[in-house]
Amino acid sequence: MTRTLLRVAVLAATTSLMAGNAAAADYRLNPYSLAYEGALTTNAAGQVNIYPVVYPLNGLEIAANIYTPAGYPSARPYPAVVVAHPNGGVKEQVAGLYAQRLAEQGYIAIVADAAYQGASGGTPRNVDKPAFRIEDIHGMADFIARYPGVDGARLGLLVLCGGGGYSLAAAATDKRFKAVATISMFNSGRVRRNGYADSQLQTIAQRLRQASDARSREASGNAVPYSGDADLSDEQIAALPFDLYRQGYAYYWKTHAHPRSTFRYTTSSLMDLMRWDATDQIALVDQPLLMIAGSKADSLYMSEDAFAKATGNADKELFRLEGATHIETYWMPRYVNAAVSKLASFYVRTLAPAATGARS
C-alpha cells in the first residue's frame, strides 16, 4: 500500500467525519493542549475558566481539569458535574468539550484522566480495568465536592462512551450523585466479552486464554502484552464493519488527536473486563437518569439495553439525537448543542437547591 493511497484514505475518512463545516482541533495550538473546537485558550476575569489540578487517589497522582462558570467565584454555591471520558480518550478531547459547555451553563465541572492513562499516574500504562475506572469516578467526586464554591449536595454525573458504562456502576452505590447522564453509552464489559454487536461470541474462551497468558507473562516480569494497538492499514480501516470504529479512527487519529489518547490497553485487563457488565446491579441506580444516544449509532443497542434494565427509578429518559452516529455526538455542533440543551434542562431540574426548587 503506497503512502499516496494511505493519504487518500485518511483524507476520505476525515472529510466524512468533518461534514458540517467543523475544523480539525489541533492540540498543539492550544495552551492547555485541548483538542476540540471552541476550546478555551486563556483564563479571563468574568468568563468560563479552566484550572489544571493534580490530586492523589490510592497512591497515584490524578491529572484533571476544573472548568468554572462565568462570574466564579461568588458568594453563592455552585452545583458541580463530574465528567468521565471515553475508553482511550483523555480529558482534553470530548469530555473536556462537554465540561466546558456545562461551565457555560453555570456548573463547575471536573474531568480527569483515568488512572494508568493520559497524564495520570500508574504503571504499567493503559491498564483498563472496570474497578479502576469506577474508582476514578468516585475520586473525582471526592475532589470536586471539596472544591471552593461547590455545593456538595448538588453533584451530577456525566459520562461518555465507555465512561458511561462505568458511571452506571459508580452511581449504583455512590449516592452523592443526585443525577446521572450518559452520552453514547458503551458497555465495555459486554463488548470485550461478546465483541461489538455481539459479533465474537464464538471466540470468548480463546480470548480469555489469551488474557490469562498475558497476565502470566506480566507476573514473570516479561514485557507487558497489549491489545488494541491502532496500527491498522487504510484497507483495514475501510473494511471495519461498524461506523463507531471507522469514524473513531478519524476522530482519535486525525481530527481530534492527542498524543496521550490511545486505543491501547493491557491484554490482561480483559480478565477483568470480560467478567464485568455495565448493567450488573443497575437497578440500584435510583437517581434521575438521562441517557443520550444517536438514533443512527450502531452502539445504540447498549443504551437501550441498559435503559430497559434500569428499573430502580421511574425518573429516567432515553433521548435519541435524530440522525447522529456514535462519534458524531463527540464533535458535530448540531448534535453537541442538542445534547447540551437536553443536559441543561435535566440538571436544572435534578440539581436544584432543595430550599427553593430552583438552581442558584
Q: How do residues 30-83 score in pLDDT, each as one tens digit?
A: 999 999 999 999 999 999 999 999 999 999 999 999 999 999 999 899 999 999
Could you state, in order of their start, the residue ranges of all structural domains in the chain? 3-350
Q: Is the pTM of this model over 0.85?
A: yes
Query: Residue 332 in 3-state DSSP?
Result: coil
The CATH number that domain 3-350 falls under is: 3.40.50.1820
pLDDT band for position 23 (cuts 50, 70, 90): low
Where helices occur in the chain by DSSP H, the ranges are 3-17, 94-104, 130-145, 162-173, 188-194, 204-219, 234-239, 243-250, 269-273, 300-309, 328-331, 333-350
User: 172-176, 254-258, 300-304: which has the minimum mean pLDDT?
Assistant: 254-258
What is the reported pLDDT for 209?
98
Q: Which residue has the cell 452523592?
A: 176
Q: Are strands 49-57 and 60-68 parallel, antiparallel or unpaired?
A: antiparallel
